[in-house]
């Protein structure tokens, strides 16, 4: 029932994006010593959301067309100077990206919890 609300869907997409971003960061860290490994990165959720936008309702013919919720972000190679062995993973950069991903996930859960709280309050529970 609640998954039909745009705010709930957006927070779920944000949490899913944070998980995918964390998986890419973990793969980068696991290959930090692999010669020739190229670090990957996933764009921020805000940029992904801006490209796809939330699903919109069309109630009149003059409204803009609805677009699907942003969920299919693509990983791209991070553009940094590679080390002498060809590896482009920066441990410091990956740690900062990991913290940013954790904050994004926490933010998504906070939005979800607040939305559910508002719904429960409006229902008198």
pLDDT tens profile 9-63 = 888 889 999 999 999 999 999 999 999 999 999 887 877 777 665 455 556 666 5
| Bridge partner list, 75 | 42
pTM flag (> 0.85):
no
Phi, psi of 5, deg, nearest 5: -80, 135
Q: Chain-wide mean pLDDT for the chain?
A: 81
User: Which pLDDT does position 28 carry in this prediction?
Assistant: 92
What crossing angle do the helices spanning 91-123 and 6-30 adopt, rounded to 10°? 160
DSSP conformational letter for 97: H
Can you give the C-alpha Rg of the chain in angstroms? 18
Side-chain-side CA neighbours of 4 within 13 Å: the count stands at 2
Q: In 3-state terms, what secondary structure has residue 41?
A: strand
| Torsion sign across C-alpha atoms 114, 23, 82, 47 | negative
- Spell 59-79 as b/e; 16+ CB within 10 A means b: eeeeeeeeeebbeebeeeebe
**Residue 52 pLDDT:** 60
37 vs 83, residue with greater confidence: 37
Question: Does position 68 have pLDDT exceeding 80, yes or no?
Answer: no
pLDDT grade, residue 106 (50/70/90)?
A: very high
């Amino acid at each position: 029932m609640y998954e039909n609300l745009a705010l709930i869907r957006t927070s779920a997409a944000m949490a899913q994006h944070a998980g995918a971003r964390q998986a890419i960061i973990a793969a980068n860290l696991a290959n930090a010593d692999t010669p020739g490994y190229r670090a990957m990165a996933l764009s921020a959720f805000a940029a992904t959301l801006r490209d796809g936008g939330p699903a919109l309702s069309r109630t009149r013919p003059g409204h803009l067309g609805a677009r699907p919720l942003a969920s299919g972000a693509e990983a791209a190679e991070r553009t940094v100077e590679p080390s002498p062995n060809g590896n482009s993973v920066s441990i410091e950069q990956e740690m900062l990206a990991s913290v940013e991903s954790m904050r994004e996930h926490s933010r998504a859960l906070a939005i979800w919890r607040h939305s559910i709280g508002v719904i429960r309050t409006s229902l008198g529970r």
